């Protein structure tokens, strides 16, 4: 589409739909949230309050009946529905954004990417943490050469959930793509690929730490990139202490950063993108240096709204998608290799 309003249908109004996607779509110039799908009465009422201009329907079938009124479908429903809903959107001639994890397997993801390419339709994966302020700061430091030649990238995304919650994250059904590797690992692996490129070898330790859990809730993944950089990624739902976020070691200096990007917390609290969005206070800045000499480093403002601005540019102007589905396919191949590595106690070579 070259011009005009982009009409968006959102499938799912749980955490992903209500907190992440709907507010960011609403904040994007030239986009309009037209239809929201939720079969939950309480969530339907919430959607009416928060997005009075959108029609609320109880099922995806009702949305497909009105496909001619839409340009883009956002799939923020349970993981098991990601591939079938995205495929149906493409079959209806609609662009699609799919929440992570893109699919349960790399083969399913590749098939969906091939379908979008065959139909010449936009397909993108919501890897919003490419626009975390701390990650943008790492990219800035690399561009400036402040770290020298980086040899190790340490990245953590850890939570403390001693009692498992209901939902896909704790489901043992492989189709649900539950567990910490799919949930948190999707972000960490994607960021590592963006920074350091293709992966040659994978080693992983994947565990179930909490009593009664059906899926992995604690994992360590080591990636050897073709560039020579090693990424050490830690993810957990069973970490009572989880302050360190990044430790990037280079030939000239190191960068250390504590605490998570604040955009998720802001959206959960009801704050919406606007002036000052994503800014981080000085006391939360990371530091650059070595041994006893450290300098505070201002954190780049977080920029999650840039994702949907990129979707709009891709649909209007033919710009590349903000996240290419091929990147998500590679991320899923690494998750599969990590599971195999943990099962076989072996380093897995990627072809």
Cα–Cα nearest to 146, from 254, 298, 301, 285:
254
Same domain flag for 154 and 59: no
* pLDDT value of residue 170: 75
Residue 326 lies inside a defined structural domain of this protein: no
DSSP designation for 262: S
* pLDDT value of residue 270: 94
Same domain flag for 163 and 288: yes
Same domain flag for 26 and 154: no
pLDDT in tens, 271-290: 999 989 999 999 999 999 99
* pLDDT value of residue 94: 98
* pLDDT value of residue 280: 97
Q: Which residue has the higher pLDDT, 163 or 205?
A: 205
Mean pLDDT of the chain: 96
pLDDT in tens, 242-267: 889 999 999 999 999 999 999 999 99
Query: CA 263 from chain center: how many Å?
Result: 13
CATH number at residue 10: 3.40.50.720
Residues 278, 274: Cα–Cα separation, whole Å: 9
Same domain flag for 182 and 299: yes
Does residue 301 have a pLDDT over 90? yes
> What distances in angstroms separate CA 253 from CA 32, 156, 264, one per listed residue?
45, 20, 30
Residues 288, 113: Cα–Cα separation, whole Å: 40
* pLDDT value of residue 14: 95
Same domain flag for 57 and 180: no
Q: Which of the four pLDDT bands, split at 50, 70 and 90, describes residue 15? A: very high
pLDDT in tens, 59-106: 999 999 999 999 999 999 999 999 999 999 999 999 999 999 999 999
| DSSP reduced 3-state for 265 | helix
The residue among 73, 103, 126 that closes a domain is 126
Does residue 337 have a pLDDT over 60? yes
Same domain flag for 214 and 179: yes
The residue among 94, 126, 158 that closes a domain is 126
Cα–Cα nearest to 254, from 223, 220, 221, 292:
292
Does residue 1 have a pLDDT over 60? no
Task: State the average pLDDT over residues 98-124.
Answer: 98
Crossing angle of helices 185-196 and 325-344, rounded to 10°: 110
Residue 139 lies inside a defined structural domain of this protein: yes
* pLDDT value of residue 163: 86
Does residue 298 have a pLDDT over 80? yes
Does residue 176 have a pLDDT over 60? yes
Residue 64 lies inside a defined structural domain of this protein: yes
Does residue 20 have a pLDDT over 60? yes
* pLDDT value of residue 3: 67
Does residue 332 have a pLDDT over 70? yes
Domain of 154 in residue numbering reads as 129-303+333-349
Residue 212 lies inside a defined structural domain of this protein: yes
Query: Can you spell out the DSSP letters for 145-190?
Result: TTT-SEEEEEEEEE-B-SSPPSSGGG---GGG--SHHHHTHHHHHH
The pair of structure tokens assigned to 38 is 């939720």
Residue 312 lies inside a defined structural domain of this protein: no
The residue among 111, 126, 141 that closes a domain is 126
Same domain flag for 138 and 283: yes
Same domain flag for 207 and 294: yes
pLDDT in tens, 22-31: 999 999 999 9
Total number of domains in the chain: 2
CATH number at residue 202: 3.30.360.10
Residue 322 lies inside a defined structural domain of this protein: no
Same domain flag for 107 and 138: no
Percent with pLDDT over 70 in the chain: 99
* pLDDT value of residue 111: 98
* pLDDT value of residue 131: 98
Same domain flag for 58 and 197: no
Same domain flag for 112 and 189: no
pLDDT in tens, 156-174: 999 998 888 777 677 788 8
> What distances in angstroms separate CA 95 from CA 191, 293, 304, one per listed residue?
24, 50, 20
Residue 76 lies inside a defined structural domain of this protein: yes
Residue 239 lies inside a defined structural domain of this protein: yes
Same domain flag for 242 and 135: yes
């Amino acid at each position: 589409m070259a011009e005009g309003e982009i009409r968006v249908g959102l499938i799912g109004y749980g955490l992903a739909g209500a907190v992440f996607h709907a507010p960011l779509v609403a904040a994007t110039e030239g986009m309009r949230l037209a239809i929201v799908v939720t079969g939950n009465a309480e969530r339907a009422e919430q959607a009416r309050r928060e997005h009075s201009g959108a029609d609320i329907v109880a099922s995806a079938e009702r949305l497909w009946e009105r496909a001619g009124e839409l340009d883009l479908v956002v799939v923020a429903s349970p993981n098991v529905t990601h591939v079938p809903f995205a495929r149906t959107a493409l079959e209806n001639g609609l662009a699609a954004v799919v929440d992570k994890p893109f699919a349960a397997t790399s083969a399913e993801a590749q098939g969906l990417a091939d379908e979008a390419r065959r139909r010449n339709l936009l397909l993108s994966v919501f890897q919003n943490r490419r626009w975390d302020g701390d990650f943008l700061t790492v990219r800035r430091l690399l561009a400036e050469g402040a770290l020298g030649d980086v040899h190790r990238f340490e990245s953590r995304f850890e939570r403390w959930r001693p009692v498992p919650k209901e939902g896909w994250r704790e489901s043992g059904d492989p189709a649900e793509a539950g567990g910490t590797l799919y949930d948190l690992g999707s972000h960490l692996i994607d960021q590592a690929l963006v920074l350091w490129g293709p992966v040659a070898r994978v080693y992983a330790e994947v565990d179930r730490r909490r009593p009664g859990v059906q899926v992995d809730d604690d994992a360590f993944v080591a990636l050897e990139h073709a560039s020579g950089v090693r990424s050490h990624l830690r993810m957990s739902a069973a970490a009572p202490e989880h302050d360190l976020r990044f430790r990037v070691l280079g030939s000239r200096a190191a960068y250390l950063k504590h605490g998570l990007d604040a955009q998720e917390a802001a959206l959960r609290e009801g704050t919406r993108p606007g002036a000052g969005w994503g800014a981080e206070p000085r006391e939360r800045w990371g530091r650059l240096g070595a041994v006893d000499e450290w300098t505070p480093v201002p954190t780049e403002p977080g920029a999650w709204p840039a994702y949907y601005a990129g979707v709009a540019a891709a649909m209007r102007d033919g710009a590349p998608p903000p996240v290419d589905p091929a990147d998500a396919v590679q991320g899923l191949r690494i998750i599969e290799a990590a599971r195999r590595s943990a099962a076989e106690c072996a380093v897995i070579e990627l072809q």
